[in-house]
């Protein structure tokens, strides 16, 4: 049974191939086109998936699209009617696009698929609802035979929040909250108001929150969201403009907080940090209330999560520490890209009724993208003028670990590319977590992004409890945990008095590069069975330094998709201050490269 899932034409297009219930391949279109959040039909991602599965579109039993455009169009029309005559300008802009493309999406998809396979039959094209795709992406790959599945995002067709029960190969949604009431859109409203891009800057708000104080929490609860004890909620639309307008918030929102929305070019102030802290706290309260009430109602011991809000790893960490569930599984590609995988799995297990075998994590560490053979890597690097040394695996591990111990920024390109927004040791930039300057260096000189943004530690699973108040699996970097007390550094009175960005340069532990200003860290636990080469590297680094973790950030600069090919990695090496690059068994040192190939990546990509 071969199922191809597709998400496309909104943002983060992707494709995924599932064969007999096993995930064979999954990738976002942006990785191939190099256009961040590419929404176009994922012809490159589909081509990769078919190649990885050694099959063709002619042999695919079903192609499943991740949502139902007619229901989405219904929501658009009903919303404009409900708010009329407000929003006519927005309606006038949106309607032609819907009439030209999205309303006739079935025809458009059929045309694109026939371009790949002229004999493709329309009967093989299926559609599943948006939240069912998200829920399927979380439950079906999980190791659980039975689980509560919670999906939270901006909006699908109508649903913005849904709860389902997964059992075996079945999945049944039993509760929903509908648009315009949306926890994801509330968070996006503050993303917009604090001057970041909606649908890409939400994680910046989460990273900014610890610099502020949640002094607006009660104001948000009093005026913007009516949050009940069971986590259900309604948003007060008097303060928002996303239903019918061209912005997320309106003048009444500005008046409530006493200032206009920040422009991206304007400085961040303690006011914006306090806003971030407040909406983050409200999100945590809502998620934990909701999960707690659903656990009491269902008695489920396992929780699966998906949707864009499930990428809020701070809220996930709070939920984990509450101990409401024995196990929590978060889909690493929780955004719309993951909907492609969910669609393929829903088609496999629910439409085709294929039995599901539980007991293991079928995401395979999220290493579901392209890999490159050693001879191919050497040919590709040679073709772009790279100077490299080919090493035995153990020697390359030793050299890379020593470079990290020497304080160098290292590009690490190994095995299959990750699916989802997180780099997990396949396409990563690594650093020494013991360095007080590493966080600032990576942000300003390698990533070319805001200095306040935190970095994650990749830590050996067997040593995680030595450094963090956490002793569980977190393979997908979707849990935030406190740094262990024994690792923390006592603060002086002067340091304690600092506020805002002034907190940034104060080392707070013996792993300062991955310790956020609130003594937290976003964890990735690494195991030898899932990521053997990455595990070996961290193990060797630990042997040299005594420290069983490394700084891990995605292999890209701000505004650029994570690198996909050896050529992408080499260009990033030459366009940033990365000093060493390991691609397969090839080691590249910056000083050995042709200076004429140096690039300027600082302004090469649009702000994210």
Close Cβ partners of 418 (under 8 Å, ≥ 6 residues apart)? 332, 366, 367, 368, 369, 424, 426, 427, 562
pLDDT tens across 255-301, in order?
999 999 999 889 999 999 999 999 999 999 999 999 999 999 999 99
- In this predicted structure, the answer to whether residue 519 has a pLDDT above a threshold of 80 is yes
d(CA 507, CA 482): 15
Q: What is the mean pLDDT of residues 350-375?
A: 96
Q: 575, 600 in Cβ contact below 8 A?
A: yes
Q: Across the strands, what pairs with 184?
A: none
Close Cβ partners of 95 (under 8 Å, ≥ 6 residues apart)? none
Close Cβ partners of 351 (under 8 Å, ≥ 6 residues apart)? 62, 64, 126
Count Cβ atoms within 10 A of the Cβ of residue 270 and give its class: 0-12 exposed, 13-18 middle, 19 or more buried.
Answer: middle
Q: Which of 154-158, 242-246, 393-397 has the highest mean pLDDT?
A: 393-397
Structural domains of the chain in order of their starting residue, each with its CATH number: 2-130+336-362 (3.30.420.40), 183-328 (3.30.420.40), 374-597 (3.90.870.20)
605: closest CA among 556, 546, 540?
A: 556
d(CA 304, CA 297): 16
313: closest CA among 336, 332, 339?
A: 332
pLDDT tens across 133-173, in order?
999 999 999 999 999 999 999 888 788 999 999 999 999 99
pLDDT tens across 99-114, in order?
555 557 888 899 999 9
DSSP state of 509: B
- In this predicted structure, the answer to whether residue 225 has a pLDDT above a threshold of 70 is yes
Q: What is the pTM of this model?
A: 0.93
d(CA 119, CA 117): 5
pLDDT confidence of residue 606 = 66
Q: Which band of pLDDT confidence, cut at 50, 70 and 90, is reported for residue 559?
A: confident
d(CA 481, CA 317): 6
Count Cβ atoms within 10 A of the Cβ of residue 568 and give its class: 0-12 exposed, 13-18 middle, 19 or more buried.
Answer: buried
- Length of the chain measured in residues: 608
Q: Which band of pLDDT confidence, cut at 50, 70 and 90, is reported for residue 79?
A: low
Q: 195, 262 in Cβ contact below 8 A?
A: yes
d(CA 240, CA 251): 9
Q: Which band of pLDDT confidence, cut at 50, 70 and 90, is reported for residue 89?
A: low
Q: 37, 11 in Cβ contact below 8 A?
A: yes
Instruction: Based on DSSP, count helices (H) and strands (E) in the chain, helices before strands.
Output: 20, 21
pLDDT tens across 424-447, in order?
999 999 999 999 888 777 877 777
Structure tokens given for 606:
């649009």
d(CA 429, CA 562): 10
Local structure of 430: helix, strand or coil: strand
pLDDT confidence of residue 74 = 56
b or e along 518-544 (b: 16 or more beta carbons within 10 Å of the residue's beta carbon)?
A: bbbbbbbbbeeebbebbbbbbbbbbee
Q: Which band of pLDDT confidence, cut at 50, 70 and 90, is reported for residue 554?
A: very high
Q: 590, 392 in Cβ contact below 8 A?
A: no
d(CA 309, CA 584): 34
- In this predicted structure, the answer to whether residue 76 has a pLDDT above a threshold of 70 is no
Q: 68, 32 in Cβ contact below 8 A?
A: no
């Amino acid at each position: 049974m071969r199922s191809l899932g597709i998400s496309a034409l909104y943002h983060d297009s992707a494709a995924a191939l599932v064969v007999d219930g096993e995930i064979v391949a999954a990738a976002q279109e942006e990785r191939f086109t190099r256009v961040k959040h590419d929404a176009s039909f994922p012809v490159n991602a589909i081509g990769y998936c078919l190649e990885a599965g050694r099959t063709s579109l002619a042999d695919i039993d079903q192609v499943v699209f991740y949502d139902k455009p007619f229901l989405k169009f219904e929501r658009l029309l009903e919303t404009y009617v409900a708010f009329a005559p407000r929003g006519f300008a927005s309606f006038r802009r949106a309607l032609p696009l819907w009439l030209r493309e999205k309303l006739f999406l079935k025809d458009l998809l059929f045309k694109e698929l026939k371009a790949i396979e002229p004999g493709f039959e329309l009967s093989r094209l299926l559609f599943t609802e948006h939240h069912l795709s998200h829920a399927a992406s979380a439950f079906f790959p999980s190791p659980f035979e039975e689980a509560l599945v919670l999906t939270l995002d901006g909006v699908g067709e109508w649903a913005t929040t849904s709860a389902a029960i997964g059992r075996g190969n079945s999945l049944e949604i039993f509760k929903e909250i509908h648009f315009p009431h949306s926890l994801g859109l509330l968070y996006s409203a503050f993303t917009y108001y604090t001057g970041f891009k909606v649908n890409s800057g939400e994680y910046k708000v989460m990273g900014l929150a610890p610099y502020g104080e949640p002094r607006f929490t009660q104001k948000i609860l009093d005026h913007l969201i009516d949050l009940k004890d069971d986590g259900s909620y309604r948003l007060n639309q008097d303060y928002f403009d996303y239903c019918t307008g061209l912005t997320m918030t309106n003048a009444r929102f500005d008046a409530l907080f006493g200032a206009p929305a920040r422009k991206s070019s304007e400085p961040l102030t303690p006011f914006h940090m306090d806003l971030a802290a407040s909406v983050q706290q409200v999100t945590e309260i809502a998620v934990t209330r909701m999960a707690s009430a659903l656990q009491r109602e269902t008695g489920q011991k396992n929780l699966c999560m998906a949707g864009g809000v499930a990428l809020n790893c701070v809220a996930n960490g709070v939920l984990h520490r509450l101990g409401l569930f024995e196990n929590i599984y978060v889909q690493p590609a929780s955004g719309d890209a993951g909907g492609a995988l969910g669609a393929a799995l829903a088609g496999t297990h629910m439409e085709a009724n294929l039995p599901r075998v539980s007991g293991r994590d079928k995401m395979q560490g999220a290493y579901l993208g392209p890999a490159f053979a050693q001879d191919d890597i050497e040919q590709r690097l040679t073709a772009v003028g790279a100077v490299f040394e080919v090493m035995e695996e153990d020697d390359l591990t030793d050299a890379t670990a020593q470079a990290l111990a020497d304080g160098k920024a290292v590009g690490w390109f190994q095995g299959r590319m990750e699916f989802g927004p997180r780099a997990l040791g396949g396409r990563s930039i690594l650093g020494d977590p013991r360095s007080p300057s590493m966080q600032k260096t990576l942000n300003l000189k390698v990533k070319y992004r805001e200095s306040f943004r935190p970095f994650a530690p990749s830590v050996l699973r067997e040593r995680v409890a030595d450094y963090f108040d956490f002793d569980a699996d977190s393979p997908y970097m979707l849990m935030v945990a406190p740094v262990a007390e024994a690792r923390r550094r006592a603060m002086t009175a002067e340091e304690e008095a600092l506020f805002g960005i002034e907190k940034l340069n104060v080392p707070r532990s013996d792993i300062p590069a991955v310790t956020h200003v609130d003594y937290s860290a976003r964890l990735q636990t690494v195991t030898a069975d899932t990521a053997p080469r990455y595990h070996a590297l961290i193990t060797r680094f630990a042997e040299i330094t005594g420290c069983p973790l490394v700084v891990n950030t995605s292999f890209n600069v701000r505004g650029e998709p994570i690198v996909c090919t050896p050529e992408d990695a080499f260009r990033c090496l030459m366009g940033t201050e990365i000093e060493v690059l390991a691609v397969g068994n090839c080691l590249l040192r910056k000083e050995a490269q042709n200076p004429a190939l140096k690039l300027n990546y600082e302004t090469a990509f649009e702000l994210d």
